[in-house]
Structure 1
Amino acid sequence: MFGLAIRSLRKRTGAFAASFLAMFLGSAIIMAFASMQDTAEAGGATGPAGETLSIMANVVGGWGLLLVVFAVASTMTLSVRQRAAEMALLKSIGATPAQLGRMIVGEAAGLALAAAVLGIVPAMLIGRGLLGMLHDTDQVPASIGYAFGPIALTMGIGIMFVSATAAALITARRAARVRVTESMMEAATDSGRMSRKRIVFAVLFLLVAANQAIITVTVMDGKGSDAMATSGQADIFAAIGLALLAPAIMRRVTALASGPIRMLGGATGDLAASVMRRRTGAMASAVTPIILFVGIAVGTLYLQATENAATDAAGLAKTAEQKNIETLNFVVIGMVVLFAAIMLVNTLIAATAHRRREFGQTRLAGATPRQVLGTVALESAVLTVTGVVFGTIASVFTIVPFGLARRDSVTPDGDVWTYLAVVALAAVLTGATAYGATRRTIRAPAVEAALN
């Protein structure tokens, strides 16, 4: 089955593009931040400079690692779900669950190794950029040169391989255990049912986020900027927890939105409502990066705004440590914005390309290309609103506790334009990507698309 996995990778490169891109970018991010530790050891950095490099490698790199592993698992799950009919066919001709599992894991392992190796050069460029930023802000002496060594390579290649194969194992177990008839039904309906393990992990992440929020309000109250250590990661845990619950969220959202969409959208609205109720699993995968993007970006931006306001209110100039923290926060924002935006675009393109046959059948049934585009536009609107709402909820786990600990206020500092800018970017990315991918997909004749 490993040979079949390699042949599958060669013949179906487009189907694996989303997973490969997630692994490629993820390994580059992990290695770039991990190389800060190589730099510290090679340059003999001590004192504040050594501490700064260590924080960049461990704290920011750790947050990035969490997001990357989650993104890789999400794209792997989407890839296997899109191949439900293929899995059912293999089972029907005699493939055993163990063989299917080896095939899926073999595909993931091959992708992970290739992505990690190709990610080395971008990681070195990103790492040099990070160190240059620290040089420019006088947080690390210019005499300390960049080093890319064993720590970065071990973290990037090792973690990416382990996380990809672990995600594949989890996904393969479920795909292999489902009977042939159930596989065919899932391929047709894509209901996106949640496993017990997924629910357990979602609850765990939300509980950790709540715990961080409580510690911020109680233990860290009056501790100044040190409260960022606990509040800064609460929105990340909350966003991942809510993203894990995305299938249940989208089932409820599509059920509530069906009525208004049918009433306001006419024939297009009726078509969109019917399609969304059948595709909650795929929509859950698409809404996940929106929740992560909005939750972490809003939470971190307003956290830094509150910290700046507290410093200004005290009439104090920013210390080197405060500048360091601010730099780290903006690095996190930049990393999250770039990675989540690419994952959002990546996921939507992969999900839309897979709908080629669906769009062809819909057009053969009488729908016009304009109605197909209108359906996708309505789906994008639902995804954006859902992602923004639950992303905002995730950001509250950071904003409110830190505001109470730092300023005795539940209202965050910073203007509303910051929030609107994040929302607008999420909407543009979602809408433009879905529209562009759909237009490209429906260029093929309906009959040809329906038969492929």
Structure 2
Amino acid sequence: MIGMLAWGQLRRRPGGFAGLAVALTLAVATVTALGALLGAGGGRGEVRGPGVGVIVGAFGEITVLVAFFVALNTLGFALRHQYRDLALLRTVAATPRQIRRLVRRQAALTVVLVAVPGALLGGAAARVFLAALQHRAMAAPDARIGGVLPAAAVAAAVTLLVALAAATLAARQVTAPTPAAALADGSGPDRRPGVVRLLAAGIAFTGGALLVRLAATRPPAEVDKAAQATLLSALVLLVGVALAGPLLVPLVTVPLGRVVRTLLPVAGWQADANLRGHARRQASAVVPIALLGGLSATMAIMTGTALHAVAGPPGGATSATDSWLRQAELGLLGSFGAIATVTTLAALTGERRREFALLRLLGATRPDVLRVVALEAVLTAALGLLLGGAVTAATTVAFSVAATGSPVPTVPVATCLWIAAAAALLTVPTVLAAATAAMRQAPAAVVGSAQE
């Protein structure tokens, strides 16, 4: 019975599960590629760098961690699309345990649907990545990708565990309220984060602070270890930002909103009011931007600082192979972050159909609405960059102390401007496209259907 309900929701709301499906496909593909790379045959010849096993281990840990948070984010929006249906099930005697089983079954079915295409994509990616490693003498010249099936099976199992863990946490937003309260709020609650989430955020911030201290106290001869600690501290601190996002985003929104209101009194006032009113929900869109911006800027500033260091010969932090690996790692994280950003922004904007319709009935034209929405998207990107920038500042200062003895890192301004532009290009077109699609229907028809 629960399996039939889960499959029925997937068929009825494919758009709501699209983001989750893409994220899980990428997870299966990545783990398949890493597993196939680890099992590549051949091993003769001189190899530079950390070795395939170390590379696979580092990429695998980051993949599982980031995939979990992206799956949690995208699954949360999939639940928002069916929140009222799940609330109705609770009013007809469905228990919270049964709802959680239903959500887990939906996640498991999604993994089953994406396992084959993810495995095929992962097999192709493994061959491309192995060729790139061989070109840089980081893998044996005679290494070959053998059978992908065992790696694909492991990847499907790992992705299933990640999806089930994310589903268990995401289901809390449906089962926490009483059935009557859940039915009254048809789009999902907008509450403060719970104690468990705040505790996890505190642990992440504490761990990140300890890693920052570890990076700052490395001697100049161990600049490569300082680089590793810096990157890990940035990732852990950004996890803390993700967990505490519903509290941090409203705090940052207030001063930024005042600036926008001063510069653009009309559109800025409305954009700021909308962003404040949905600040906690908007945190879901801000966090992926913070992840992308924070990691990108950290890598860029850390590399620039290491290149200008005067602490002996180049080490792992400045070598070409290590820089390439960091860029590949950033590309992987960027793919997950882009998926989370696009799907979240599209879902948030699509939920505002009735709001847009009411504005148009009150006299606002479609260009007026799009102008305000575009400004909100710019504010969202700015919020993400500010939070990511705070993490970047803390981590790169620590690395600069270790590498140069000075707390002032070398900042590549042009690269940082490109990062900010990329965040805007990722958010603004996505929001405008989703808003345009949400306003296709006549305003009176949208308001009337919502009241029925």
TM-score normalised by structure 1 residue count:
0.90
Q: SS where residue 239 of structure 2 aligns?
A: helix
Equivalent residue, structure 1, for 2:59: 60
Number of the residue aligned with 2:336: 339
Stretch moving more, 160-169 or 90-99: 90-99
In the alignment, which residue of structure 1 is the partner of 2:24? Answer: 23
Matched letter for residue 407 of structure 2: V
Which residue is 1:386 aligned to?
383
> Deviations along 1:14-40, whole A, 9 cap, x unmatched?
11111111111222223223332122x
Residue equivalent to 1:291 = 290
- Listed one character per residue, the Cα deviations across residues 387-426 of structure 1 (whole Å, up to 9, x for unaligned) are 0011011223431222111111222225211111111111
Name the counterpart of 2:206.
207
CA contact (8 A) 2:306 2:318 kept: no
Give the direction of change, closer, same or farther, for the CA distance of 1:265–1:319 in structure 2 (3 Å limit): closer
Distance in 2 (CA, whole Å) between partners of 1:349 and 1:316 is 48
- Alpha-carbon distance, 1:364 to partner: 3.1
Which residue of the partner structure matches residue 153 of structure 1?
152
1:350 to 336, 342, 347: 347
Q: 1:270 to 1:128 in 2, by over 3 A?
A: same
Deviation at residue 265 of structure 1 after TM alignment: 4.4
Q: 2:397 aligns with which of 392, 396, 400?
A: 400
Corresponding residue SS for 2:440: coil
1:139 and 1:320 in contact (8 A); partners too: no
- Distance change (3 Å), C-alpha of 1:82 and 1:198: farther
What is the identity, as a one-letter code, of the residue corresponding to 1:442? M
**In 2, Cα distance between the equivalents of 1:46 and 1:66?**
33
Secondary structure of the corresponding residue to residue 138 of structure 2 = coil
Q: Contact 1:190/1:280 (CA < 8 Å) preserved in 2? A: no
Does structure 2 retain, via aligned residues, the 8 Å contact 1:294–1:387? yes
Q: Is the 8 A contact 2:377 2:428 kept in 1?
A: yes
- Contact kept in structure 1, 2:346 and 2:431, CA below 8 Å: yes
Q: C-alpha distance in 2, partners of 1:165/1:254?
A: 33
The answer to whether the Cα contact below 8 Å between 1:88 and 1:183 also exists between their aligned partners in 2 is: yes
5 Å-filtered alignment, 1:229-268, equals: 229-257=228-256, 261=260, 265-266=264-265, 268=267
1:99, 1:141 → 2: CA distance? 51
- Distance in 2, matches of 1:184 and 1:92, equals 8
Residues 338 and 188 of structure 1: CA distance in aligned 2, closer, same or farther (over 3 Å): closer
Instruction: Name the residue aligned to 1:127.
Output: 126
Q: Which amino acid aligns with 2:178?
A: R
Q: Which residue of 1 aligns with 2:103?
A: 104
Q: Residue 304 of structure 1 contacts residue 329 of structure 1 at CA under 8 Å; is this kept in 2?
A: no
| Aligned-pair CA distance for 1:172 | 1.5
How much has 1:50 moved relative to structure 2? 9.2
For residue 276 of structure 1, report the CA deviation from its aligned partner.
2.5
Counterpart of 1:95 in 2: which secondary structure?
A: coil
Q: Tell me if structure 2 keeps the 8 A contact 1:78–1:285.
A: no
- Closer, same or farther: CA 8–45 of 1 in aligned 2, 3 Å: farther
**Compared CA separation, residues 73 and 197, structure 1 to 2 (3 A):** same
Q: Corresponding residue for 1:421?
A: 418
For structure 1, the residue ranges without an aligned partner over 5 or more in a row are: none
- Where 2:383 maps in the other structure, the secondary structure is helix
Q: Give 1:412's match in structure 2, choosing from 392, 398, 409.
A: 409
State the AA in 2 paired with 1:200.
L
- Report 1:213-228 matches (<5 A): 213-219=212-218, 222-228=221-227
Q: Distance in 1 between matches of 2:93 and 2:313?
A: 72
Between 1:237-246 and 1:372-381, the stretch displaced more is 372-381
**Is contact 1:191-1:280 (8 Å) kept?**
no
2:443 to 435, 443, 446: 446
Equivalence for 1:114:
113
Cα distance in 1 for partners of 2:306, 2:334 equals: 21
Determine the structure 2 residue equivalent to 1:34: 35
Question: Partner residue of 1:308?
Answer: 307
**Aligned-pair distance for 1:198?**
1.3
Partner of 1:363: 360
What's the offset of the Cα at 1:264? 5.2
| 1:270 Cα offset (Å) | 4.4
Q: Is the 8 A contact 2:249 2:279 kept in 1?
A: yes
CA contact 1:206–1:237 (8 Å) conserved in 2: yes
Aligned length: 448
AA in 2 matched with 1:33: L
Structure 2 unaligned segments of length 5 or more: list them.
none
CA distance in 1, matches of 2:113, 2:221: 48
Deviates more, 1:262-271 or 1:415-424: 262-271
Is the contact between residue 306 and residue 412 of structure 1 (CA under 8 Å) also seen in structure 2?
yes
Distance 1:426 1:291 in 2: 9
Offset of 1:207 from its aligned partner? 1.5
Secondary structure, aligned partner of 1:141: coil
- Paired with 2:225 and 2:335, the residues of 1 have a C-alpha distance of 27
Hey, what does 2:196 align to over in structure 1?
A: 197
The equivalent residue for 1:277 is: 276
- What SS class does the counterpart of residue 140 from structure 2 fall into? coil
Q: Is the 8 A contact 2:358 2:443 kept in 1?
A: yes
User: 1:272 Cα deviation (Å)?
Assistant: 3.0
Does the CA-based 8 Å contact 2:16-2:78 persist in structure 1?
yes
Residues 1:263 and 1:117: Cα distance change in structure 2 (over 3 Å): same
Question: Deviation at 1:314?
Answer: 6.0
Cα deviation 1:110-154 (Å, max 9, x = unaligned): 112222332111111222121111111122232111235466324
- TM-score w.r.t. the length of structure 2 is 0.90
Question: Within 5 Å, which residues of 2 pair with 1:39-54?
Answer: 39=40, 42-44=41-43, 48=47, 51-54=50-53
